[in-house]
Amino acid sequence: MGKKKDKINVSQCLGLPVLSGHGAACDKMFFNNNKKHSLTTINCLAKSTSSELCLSGSAFDQHLYKDGNHFNIISFPNSSMTPRKKLQGLVAATVTPMTPDGQINLSVIGQYVDYLVGKQNIKNIFVNGTTGEGLSLSTQERKQLAEEWVCQGKDKLDHVIIHVGALSLPESQELARHAAAIGASAIAVIAPFFFKPTNKDELVAFLQKVASEAPEVPFYYYHIPPLTGVKIRVEELLDGIKERIPTFQGVKFSDTDLLDLAQCINKNEAEQFEFLYGVDEQLLGALAIGANGAVGSTYNYLGQKTNLMLQAFAKPDLVLARRYQFLTGEFLNFVIKLGFGVAQTKAVMTFVSGIPMGPPRPPLIDASEEFIIKAKAKLDSIVWPDGN
C-alpha cells in the first residue's frame, strides 16, 4: 500500500495495534477491533471496483476507502460509544495548514491541537469551513483533514464539528457519511450558493438529504448569507425542522442580523437548540440575547482573551466584558482596514502560534509583508485587562 505509514500513524494515534502486509494481488491488514482483542482480517484486492467498505466492531468502526488501485483502511472510535458533551463556549474555526507549494499539511495538526488547548483554552473546533478554505479543497483533502483532526483531537478536544457542505449534493452526502464513519462530534452544512435555494422548503430539502446520510450525528445549519447570498431567515427555517431533520442540533449563525437570532432563540427555547454566533466582533451582543456559544476564526489566536470575556459576562461584570470586546474590535477594525480575510488570518496565526500555516489556496493570495508587520505591531500594542 502506498500510504502504509499514514495508516499506521492513524491507528497508533487511536491506540490500535496493527500488523500489515501486502503482496502482488492484495493488501492485508489486521486490526484489534474491540475490547476482547479479537482480530479482523481484511483482504483488499486491487482489482475491486468498490469505492468504500465498512465493518463495525463493538468498540471501533473500520472503514476502507479505495484510492486509485489501492485501499486505505482506518479505524476510529465508534461514535456511539462516547456520550455527547454539551457544546458551549468557544469553537475555533480552524485554518487549513498548507505547505509552501499549496498542499495540505497534515503534519502540524497535532501541534495545532496542543496549541489550541494549551495556549488558547479552546477545546472545540469547526473544520473545513470558511476559515478552513473547505470549498477550495478537494473531497479527498477534506476527508484527510477531517480524519487527522479527529485523530489528533482524541482525548484532547470535546467537539470536532466537520463542515460537509458543498455545491454538489452527492459530494456533501459523501462527506457526511465519512464524518459519521470517523466519529465526528457533529456535521454542519452551508446553503448551496451557485444554484441557490429560493425558499425555506428548498433549503430544508437539501439539508435533509445530507443529514439523512449521517442519521446518528448531530446536525448544524451553517448560516452565512454575506457569502452565500441565501437570505432565508433562520427564524423561518427552524419552524418544524425537527420533523424533517431529527438530528438537527442548532445553527452556526454568521450574520449581523441580531433580530433574526433573537427571534430564533425566543421561539425555540423548548427545543434546546444550540445557537453558535459567528461574527466575532459582535459576540457580546449575541450573548446578551441568549447565544450558547460562538464559532470564529479569532478564537485561534484570541481564544484565551475571549474566554475571559465570557467569564466576565457570566459573573456578570459587563464593564469588564465590554472592555475585552472593544479591544478585540479594535484589532479587527485595524486589520480590516488593511484588508483582512483567510490569507491574513493564516498569517496572524503563524506569528501568534509559531506554527507555519502556509499560503491560502488560489485565487486567494498571501498576506503582504507590510500587513504582517503592521498586524503584529498592533496586536502587541494592545493592553488587555488581565495585564498580558
pLDDT digits (tens, 9 = 90+) for 337-349: 999 999 999 999 9
301 counts as catalytic = no
| pLDDT-based confidence at residue 387 (cuts at 50, 70, 90) | low
By three-state DSSP, how is residue 145 classified? helix
d(CA 135, CA 212): 21
Q: How confident is the model at residue 159, as a pLDDT?
A: 97
pLDDT tens by residue, 223-232: 999 999 999 9
Q: How confident is the model at residue 196, as a pLDDT?
A: 96
For residue 28, give Cα distances in angstroms to 62, 76, 91, 363.
Answer: 14, 18, 39, 41
Instruction: Write the CB contacts of 168 (distance below 8 Å, at least 6 apart in sequence).
Output: none
**Packed helices 109-120 and 342-353: angle between N→C axes, nearest 10 degrees:** 70
| pLDDT-based confidence at residue 60 (cuts at 50, 70, 90) | very low
Average pLDDT over residues 42-48: 31
Is pLDDT above 70 for 261? yes
Of 76-85, 240-249, 314-323, 365-374, the least confident: 76-85
Average pLDDT over residues 166-193: 97
Give one DSSP letter per residue of 155-207, joined into a string. Answer: TT-SEEEEE---SSHHHHHHHHHHHHHTT-SEEEEEPP-SS---SHHHHHHHH
Residue of 65, 221, 222, 301 marked active site: 222
Q: How confident is the model at residue 379, as a pLDDT?
A: 98
- Are 342 and 364 in contact by the 8 Å Cβ rule? The answer is yes
Instruction: Write the CB contacts of 323 (distance below 8 Å, at least 6 apart in sequence).
Output: 385
252 counts as catalytic = yes
CB atoms within 10 A of CB 140: 11
Q: Output the average pLDDT for the chain.
A: 84
Q: How confident is the model at residue 78, as a pLDDT?
A: 46
Q: How confident is the model at residue 44, as a pLDDT?
A: 31
- Are 127 and 141 in contact by the 8 Å Cβ rule? The answer is no
Q: How confident is the model at residue 83, as a pLDDT?
A: 54
pLDDT tens by residue, 100-119: 999 999 999 999 999 999 99
Residue of 123, 252, 305, 346 marked active site: 252
The residue that leads in pLDDT, 40 or 144, is 144
Q: What share of the chain is helix, strand, coil (3-state, %, to 5)?
A: 45, 20, 35
Average pLDDT over residues 182-208: 97
The residue that leads in pLDDT, 31 or 200, is 200
Q: How confident is the model at residue 270, as a pLDDT?
A: 80
- Are 355 and 349 in contact by the 8 Å Cβ rule? The answer is yes
pLDDT tens by residue, 302-336: 999 999 999 999 999 999 999 999 999 999 999 99
pLDDT tens by residue, 89-104: 999 999 999 999 999 9
pLDDT tens by residue, 67-88: 444 344 554 544 433 456 778 8
Nine cell digits for residue 102: 499549496
pLDDT tens by residue, 6-41: 333 443 444 443 333 333 332 333 333 333 233 333
Q: How confident is the model at residue 355, as a pLDDT?
A: 98
Location of C-alpha cell 478536544: 157
